Amino acid sequence: MNLDTTYTCVIIDDNEIDRLTALMYAKKYPMLRVVGVFESPQAAIPVLQQGQIDVLISDIDMPETSGLELRAQFRAIPVCIFITAYPDYAAESFDVDAFDFLVKPLKADRFDHSMMRLQSYLSLKRKAELFEYSLGGNTVFIKDGHQQVKLNLHEILYLEALKDYTRIVTPTKKYSVLASIGLLLQEQAFQSFVRIHRSYAVQKHYIERVSAQQVQVREFALPVGRSYKEALLNLK
């Protein structure tokens, strides 16, 4: 596993200068892959709902929906960094699990300090996730309580995303590991799986039937996400 991976990032601020300043600073860090820059929470929600965002950098005081309200809605995003002109929001920001709180005008050295903490945190988080499972050849070892269970990779029917966890489904049992579905699918051992939905990936040789809305895997009918239909067409 390459721990020097990139992390997806979204920036939201209704002030154009502040928005561009945050983007300029973020671009200095190769670990951050900015996938969206928005002037309002409403514009960002479709991207956030896809569930693939690692870092949210957001203003707090915005029309209609505040950054605090947005964070409360998307607490599954691992890291939220608030950038605001109002220091009084600090206490409230940590009530919604803010990772850091930066006061405008944004200063390069303060942003750098936050990024160093962020890199250390995400690296430790990723390493902790890797302790939950290990790969070797055609097998995966999974923690099941206090025991290690050895599974043959070719027996796994599908993977299901459960926030920070992934459910691994076999014909006889279901297991959960502390690793995101995206992290598992980056592994060479899981290249026989195809993503059909933001919450599901199936092993190709178990696919029995494909329709516009569903994929049939044994007795399981799994939903197909709109953005993943092309990947299924390529299987034919």
Whole-angstrom distance, CA of residue 161 vs CA of residue 166: 5
Res 134: pLDDT: 57
Instruction: Return the closest-CA partner of residue 200 out of 176, 170, 166, 164.
Output: 166
Other beta carbons within 10 Å of 203: 19
Tens of pLDDT along the chain (236 residues)? Answer: 333 578 999 999 999 999 999 999 999 999 999 999 999 999 999 999 987 899 999 999 999 999 999 999 999 898 999 999 999 999 999 899 899 999 999 999 999 999 999 988 887 676 555 545 555 667 777 776 667 788 888 899 999 998 778 889 999 988 888 888 888 888 877 888 999 998 999 999 999 998 888 999 999 999 998 888 877 776 65
Res 101: pLDDT: 96
Query: Residue 50: CB partners within 8 Å, gap ≥ 6?
Result: 198, 227
133-233, CATH topology level: OB fold (Dihydrolipoamide Acetyltransferase, E2P) (2.40.50)
Res 131: pLDDT: 46
Query: Residue 94: CB partners within 8 Å, gap ≥ 6?
Result: 101
Whole-angstrom distance, CA of residue 57 vs CA of residue 13: 9
Res 141: pLDDT: 78
Q: In which order are the strands placed within the sheet that holds 133-136? A: 133-136, 139-144, 147-152
Instruction: Return the closest-CA partner of residue 11 out of 76, 62, 72, 87.
Output: 62
Tell me the domain boundaries of the chain: 7-129, 133-233
Which overall architecture, per CATH, does domain 7-129 show?
3-Layer(aba) Sandwich (3.40)
Res 193: pLDDT: 93
Res 129: pLDDT: 58
Whole-angstrom distance, CA of residue 134 vs CA of residue 154: 16
Res 84: pLDDT: 96
